[in-house]
Structures are given as structure tokens and as C-alpha cells.
Amino acid sequence: MKKDQSSLTSLIAAFSRAYHSQYDNPKIFDDFIAKQLLTAQEFQDISTNMVRNIQFFNEDISAKLDHNEESILQWVIQTQLSPTPLARAAYCERVLLNEITLGATQYVLLGAGLDTFHFRHPELRNSLAIFEVDHPATQAFKRSKLKKASLEIQDNLHFVPMDFSKAFSVQNLYDEGFGYEKTFFSLLGVSYYLTKEELSYLIKQLFTIVPTGSSIVLDYADENLFTETGLSNRVQNMVKMAAASGEPMKACYSYKEMESMLGDADLLIYEHLSPARINEFYFADRKDYLTAFETIHYVHAVKK
């Protein structure tokens, strides 16, 4: 991953969370810190680019919305950009907070980007060690953003620089104080970009260093990823954008395949959310464009 790519990807994700926190109601996931990580110019530039590229997303929607830039921006963000990041973050953190009550003392975010959990939950400073694992370029970008926003890093947050998509290093975690304790892992927005062999190897590595009861939440694409068009072609658009960025989506799974792969790492699926269930839990009765993204599933799996 190039430095500019890692920075832009994490910045756009933060933008979508910031927009939702400011403008959408009801809230699916309220990241009230996210906007502090963007300058006013960055927020405006991303907004402008989204509107200018409306033809890529949908050739007809601009005319339907009377070429109103605010309405077009809302449509792009709510239809194409935000549904999966918002719902999976809401699900992941709900599971995490429950796991903490059940004894988890460590939280490892694989591909943390500009995640703000640490800053939204200062009450966990003395009870939860947080390990953010990400590309060195992304972490350097994040540190600069935190400094500019005057957000103080508490001593329970540990940065673990690592391109885990290439090689996972247990030692890098140990060097930051990771121990053999009940641990919760999040792996969000990552599985699509790894081969099945790479994902299987990564999960096996993770769960050799933690005790029984440790668990993971991950999202994955089902076997329709490369054939489903989705609402306003959004699934097809997602696949095209990934390929154009130089990071093509590589893998999709049937439920049986995911269950088998997790089973090989001695994990049992505790909960599985299909797109229909995600829509029911997080998007029901909304009056805007937000709906669950087709083909994307969430899984919470626990070590036996």
C-alpha cells in the first residue's frame, strides 16, 4: 500500500462517519470524534469530489435531484459510501462492549485506520489495552492527525505498525505489551482484499496467542460479490473502485466456507448477520437512503 493510498482510504472512511454524526438521524453509529480528524478543507474537498463523480455512481440521479449538490452528496454517501462502515462498526462495538463485561482485557484492531474507539471510551483506560495494527504509513498519518486535533493518546493505546496483509508478526504485538489474556479482535473491511489462504493463515495465527473465550468480529462478502449489481449498481461500483485503486477484491465466501475456515482455527460462529438481518437491526424504518449493503455479512466467532 502506498502512503497516499493509505491516507486517502482512512480519510474517506473518517469522512463518512463524520458526515453521519453531523447530518443523519437516527444515528446508526455516532462517531462524534471523527470530524476532528479532518480539516474543514479536507471535508469540503471530499464532498466536492463525491458530487463531481456522481456520473460514475449513477448517470440519472443528478437530474432526478435537480442538480442540487447537497442532495447529491447525501445520496452518494448514504447509498454508496456509508452503509457498511456504519453498521459493521455499530455491530462490532456492541459485541466488544459485551465481551469486556465477560472478561476481555485486550482489544486488537486489525486495519484500524482512523478509528476513534480509544477517544470515545476514556472510561476503559484502566481496564482495556487497545492495540491498533496497521500499515506504518497509515499510522504515521493518524498520529499527525491526532496531534493536530489535540487528541491525547492515553497509555492503554498501543500502535503496532505492520503490513499484516503481507506477513503477520506476533512479536510486534508482544513488543507493545500484548499478553496471553482474553482478547477481542476486529477485522473489518479487510477480508475482501486477502486470498482465502491468506485470511485463513492470519486467523490461525491470531488465535494461537490467545486463550479460550477470545473472539473476533469480521465482515466478509458472500459468493455473489462478483455477480451482484446491487442498489444503483453499488456492489459493482465497489468492486470496480477497488480494482481501479490497485487493491482488487480477491475473495468471497459461502457461509459453509466461512464456517469451515473458522473451524480450522478452532473457532465457532456465535452469531452471523446476513444482509437481511443487518437491514432489520440497523436500517429499519429509515426515511433516508441508508440500507444494508448487498452481499456483505458480519460474523462473531469465539475460540473453543
If you average pLDDT over residues 142-161, what whole number do you get? 97
According to DSSP, the residues that pair with 218 across neighbouring strands are 187, 299
Question: What is the chain's alpha carbon radius of gyration, rounded to the nearest angstrom?
Answer: 19
pLDDT at 4: 54
Alpha helices in the chain (DSSP H): 3-23, 40-52, 54-57, 61-64, 69-76, 83-101, 117-120, 136-148, 170-175, 196-206, 234-244, 255-264, 275-282
Closest CA to 169 of 216, 89, 108, 244: 108
Burial of 275 (0-12, 13-18, 19+ CB in 10 A): buried
Number of residues that make up the chain: 304
Mean pLDDT rounded to a whole number for the chain: 95
Judged against a pLDDT cut of 90, whether residue 260 lies above it is answered with: yes
CB atoms within 10 A of CB 23: 13
If you average pLDDT over residues 258-279, what whole number do you get? 98
Domain borders along the chain are 3-81, 85-303
For residues 43 and 47, give the distance between their C-alpha atoms in angstroms, rounded to a whole number: 6
Question: Quick one: what percent of the chain has pLDDT higher than 90?
Answer: 92
For residues 294 and 274, give the distance between their C-alpha atoms in angstroms, rounded to a whole number: 9
Question: Quick one: what percent of the chain has pLDDT higher than 70?
Answer: 98
For residues 210 and 212, give the distance between their C-alpha atoms in angstroms, rounded to a whole number: 7
Read off the pLDDT band of 1 (50, 70, 90). very low
Strands 296-303 and 106-110: unpaired
pLDDT at 9: 83
Reported as a single tens digit per residue, the pLDDT across 203-240 is 999 999 999 999 999 999 999 999 999 999 999 999 99
For residues 31 and 301, give the distance between their C-alpha atoms in angstroms, rounded to a whole number: 25
Judged against a pLDDT cut of 90, whether residue 2 lies above it is answered with: no
If you average pLDDT over residues 282-304, what whole number do you get? 97
For residues 179 and 154, give the distance between their C-alpha atoms in angstroms, rounded to a whole number: 19
Judged against a pLDDT cut of 90, whether residue 8 lies above it is answered with: no
pLDDT at 5: 58
For residue 38, give the C-alpha cell. Answer: 479532518
Cα distances from 21 to residues 14, 33, 49, 50, 210, in angstroms, run 11, 9, 20, 18, 35
Q: Global pTM?
A: 0.96
End-to-end CA distance of the chain: 34
As a CATH number, domain 85-303 is 3.40.50.150
pLDDT at 6: 62
Judged against a pLDDT cut of 50, whether residue 89 lies above it is answered with: yes
Reported as a single tens digit per residue, the pLDDT across 36-60 is 999 999 999 999 999 999 999 998 9
Reported as a single tens digit per residue, the pLDDT across 160-190 is 999 998 889 999 999 999 999 999 999 999 9
